[in-house]
């Protein structure tokens, strides 16, 4: 077996059409049918106790590792998943699914509403992080897995980790929330809101009804550009771009003069090719509404639970600052949960959770080893 | 005389129509006629050595203090200017002018192009911070003032201060750059660029030709919302809004649920009433292009100059972080200039330069007193 990655993979789909009761949302609304796009890597063992659930961030999807046939770009966390990697597919069975309300195969606002035979658009119900997690739980149950070895994710993926801890602590042995928060601060809400405003300001958005015409690409590109600034750091931008100018032969007055401007435009333009603007609205709203202490203080949800937690933060992450990770650690310790915390000294900002592979591999592989060794005891 | 403020003021206009040679821009383009809107407070003394020039930030204007007839909102730095205030109008003659390329009375892209009898729109030439300062110099000259007591401003106003130090050091006794930078970092350029993209994404912008129709209000509002997030701090937003929700009786799915969302929308909507979108593009571009070391290292421009400098920064200002102010201090000291530095322990973020009145008053009134006392000697 090659040690260089997991090779060709494909996305699978799981549809819960016949179990509508499972999709009563936290808002009490019902959603049916529900399809969840997912991928798996590695093999589920006979005891079904080697499964790892990977949870993606705002713009991620089920394709976490390997290559889709004919594509030359691997999954979004490929360097963490595979033989000998942090999530070692020779040991673990790795599952990653696209979130409910997403646009990469799972049911979302672009899906067809069976009542109208048209895309839901804004008739799609408001989705919570807890709803995303409930859908994942049903998917995990379908494999006959009683207890996941771990649930892990960065940013919004980390919020899903925290939601698993609140909703299904008995179904996980451990949890790894990375670069995340118990709830969004007003600054985080503000950045999301400006992104939503940029989308809704685009006349092509048309109150969400654009599936027959041109989508609000310009608005969504602006939203993505704002996002990209918050994912990097002052230092990482200085290192990557400085004040380097682009080679514009006949510049328009407001052309991209600086490299950093060209980079943002490029990232914005690329994003709209693969993302649905309404999904952007629904998913960011789910993040803003999330509060791990919504029903009761987070630490109370954990009291008496047998779960091990590894919290990871990054020094230069100003979007999800380390103090928010420390609040998670504090609550876990207060509940008597075995908790480790590491603040990685990275300059990459929030993006570090996708880039600091060596450090994360070291921390996570040791953590998983210790959780695995405890399997018999818990 | 009342100590409560300077009362009713009015904006005046100075037109340089007959001196076209003075308006050769740094780009070598000519601009004529040029009108500069300005206000003055206090009285110019016989020696003409008590004049203070106040320089505004991106969205400011000539109306720095007092009230316009019939209005109940004072000028943007009113609590700093007036009898007994930091810029004491019983001692000093205070001048504030709207920048060239602005939209509050000075010549800008919304002004009529004499060649076409239509607004310039994007035919308006690219303006530099140095061009803004050259226009101010001509205005100051028109009063017969040889040497200003000080030039002072925050944010883009601070860039103009630095430009005065480079271009006209012999015409100023002192300079007070506040919450500013020798040049924009790529992160600062990135935030400006996303604002410009938001404006240009609005179809009403129409390549700048919107003066006969509807202006790009939605795009400009988004740009302003992005700005507002960067002007506050994580802490000040948490203190002001927390996660407090608005009282929405029949909420639309993407209505402003949180107070912070409502605040941003309000600030965005208000801004478009008083600001021209093309001016926003030109002014932010001037900021991004500015580099105090463009022609030679900043400290070399100051060698042998007799000018005293007070640099002020704010701890929670992450848009113009204190390290950028320290670079100014370092360069001034390297050039042998008498320089004081104060980092004010404020939670207000970049907005602090408009809000930390007590601290700024203390620092600036003492500084001006010491500069005034030296008047005879220099």
Question: Are A219 and B201 contacting, i.e. CB atoms less than 8 angstroms apart?
Answer: yes
Tell me which long-range contacts A328-336 makes (C-beta under 8 A, separation of at least 24). Answer: A328/A162, A328/A177, A328/A180, A328/A181, A328/A182, A328/A298, A331/A182, A331/A297, A331/A298, A331/A299, A331/A302, A332/A299, A332/A302, A334/A299, A335/A299, A335/A300, A335/A301, A335/A302, A335/A303, A335/A305, A336/A302, A336/A303, A336/A304
Predicted pLDDT at A11: 98
Among A181, A186, A203, A282, the residue to mutate for chain B (most B Cβ within 10 A): A186
Among B236, B319, B347, B192, residue whose Cα is nearest residue A187: B236
pTM of the model: 0.96
Helix/strand/coil percentages in chain A, nearest 5 = 40, 15, 45
Best residue of A206, A222, A223 to probe chain B, by most B CBs closer than 10 Å: A222
**Paired strand residues for B14:** B36
What is the pLDDT at residue B249?
A: 67
Whether residue B288 and residue A225 make contact (CB cut-off 8 A), yes or no, is no
Contacts of A72 (CB under 8 A, 6+ apart): none
Report the relative pairing of strands A118-119 and A150-154 from DSSP bridges.
unpaired
Q: How confident is the prediction for chain A on average, in pLDDT? A: 95
Mean pLDDT for back-to-back runs of 10 residues, chain B (378 residues): 78 80 85 95 98 98 97 97 97 98 98 96 97 96 97 98 98 98 98 98 98 97 98 97 85 87 95 97 98 96 96 98 98 97 98 97 97 67
Per-residue pLDDT band at A250 (split at 50, 70, 90): low
Residue B19: what pLDDT?
A: 60
Cross-chain residue pair A201–B201, CB shorter than 8 Å: yes
- Does A240 sit within 8 Å of B264, measured CB to CB? no
The pLDDT score that the predictor gives to residue A195 is 98
Collect all residues of chain A within an 8 Å Cβ-Cβ radius of residue B351.
none
Mean pLDDT, residues A90-97: 98
pLDDT of residue B378: 43
pLDDT (average), residues A142-160: 98
- pLDDT, position B4: 76
DSSP state of B204: G
Residues in chain A: 378
Under 8 Å between Cβ of B295 and B330: no
Residue A12 pLDDT > 90, yes or no? yes
Q: Domains, chain A, ranges and CATH?
A: 12-184+292-373 (3.40.50.1820), 188-286 (1.10.1740.110)
Q: In Å, how far from its chain's centre is CA A211?
A: 25
Nearest to B81 by CA among B152, B6, B9, B153: B6
Q: Which two tokens stand for residue A274?
A: 């693969």
Per-residue tokens: B289: 């292009």
Residues A95/A38, Cβ–Cβ less than 8 Å: yes
The answer to whether B202 is a known catalytic residue is no
Give the tens place of pLDDT for each residue, A209-241.
Answer: 999 999 999 999 999 999 999 999 999 999 999
What is the C-alpha to C-alpha distance for residues B293 and A371, in angstroms, rounded to an integer? Answer: 56
Q: What is the ipTM of this complex?
A: 0.95
Instruction: State how far residue B302 is from chain A, nearest Cα, in angstroms.
Output: 23
Question: What confidence score (pLDDT) does residue A247 get?
Answer: 82
Is the predicted pLDDT of residue A28 greater than 80, yes or no?
A: yes
Handedness of CA A139, A144, A147, A153 (dihedral sign): negative
Nearest to B154 by CA among B70, B54, B83, B71: B54
Cβ neighbours of B242 in A, within 8 Å? 186
Helix (H, G, I), strand (E, B) or coil at A19: coil
Is the CB of B266 inside 8 Å of chain A's CB atoms? no
């Amino acid at each position: 077996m090659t040690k260089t990655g997991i090779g060709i993979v494909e996305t699978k789909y799981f549809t819960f059409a016949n179990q509508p009761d499972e999709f009563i949302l936290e808002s009490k609304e019902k959603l049916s049918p529900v399809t969840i796009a997912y991928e798996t890597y590695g093999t589920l063992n006979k005891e079904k106790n080697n499964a790892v659930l990977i949870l993606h961030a705002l713009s991620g999807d089920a394709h976490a590792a390997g290559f889709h046939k004919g594509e030359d770009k691997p999954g979004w966390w490929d360097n963490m998943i595979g033989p000998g990697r942090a999530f070692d597919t020779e040991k673990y069975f790795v599952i990653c699914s696209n979130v409910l309300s997403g646009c990469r195969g799972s049911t979302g606002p672009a899906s067809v509403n069976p009542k109208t035979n048209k895309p839901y658009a804004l008739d799609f119900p408001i989705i919570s992080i807890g709803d995303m997690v409930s859908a994942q739980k049903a998917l995990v149950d379908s494999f006959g897995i009683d207890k996941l070895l771990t649930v892990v994710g960065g940013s919004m993926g980390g919020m899903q980790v925290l939601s698993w801890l609140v909703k299904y602590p008995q179904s996980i042995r451990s949890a790894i929330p990375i670069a995340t928060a118990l709830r969004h601060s007003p600054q985080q809400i503000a950045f999301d809101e400006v992104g939503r405003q940029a989308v809704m300001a685009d006349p092509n958005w048309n109150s969400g009804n654009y599936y027959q015409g041109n989508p609000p690409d310009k608005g969504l590109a602006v939203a993505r550009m704002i996002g990209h600034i918050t994912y990097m750091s002052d230092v990482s931008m200085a290192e990557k771009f400085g004040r380097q100018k682009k080679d514009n032969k006949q510049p328009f007055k407001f052309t991209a003069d600086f490299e950093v401007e060209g980079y943002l435009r490029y990232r914005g333009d690329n994003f709209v090719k693969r993302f649905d603007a309404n999904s952007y609205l629904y998913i960011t709203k789910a993040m803003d509404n999330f509060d791990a202490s919504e029903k009761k203080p987070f630490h109370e949800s954990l009291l008496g639970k047998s779960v091990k937690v590894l919290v990871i933060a990054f020094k230069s992450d100003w979007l999800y600052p380390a103090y928010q990770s420390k609040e998670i650690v504090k609550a876990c310790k207060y509940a008597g949960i075995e908790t480790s915390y590491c603040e990685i000294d990275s300059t990459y900002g929030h993006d570090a959770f996708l880039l600091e592979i060596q450090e994360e591999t070291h921390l996570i592989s040791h953590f998983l080893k210790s959780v695995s060794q405890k399997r018999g005891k818990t």
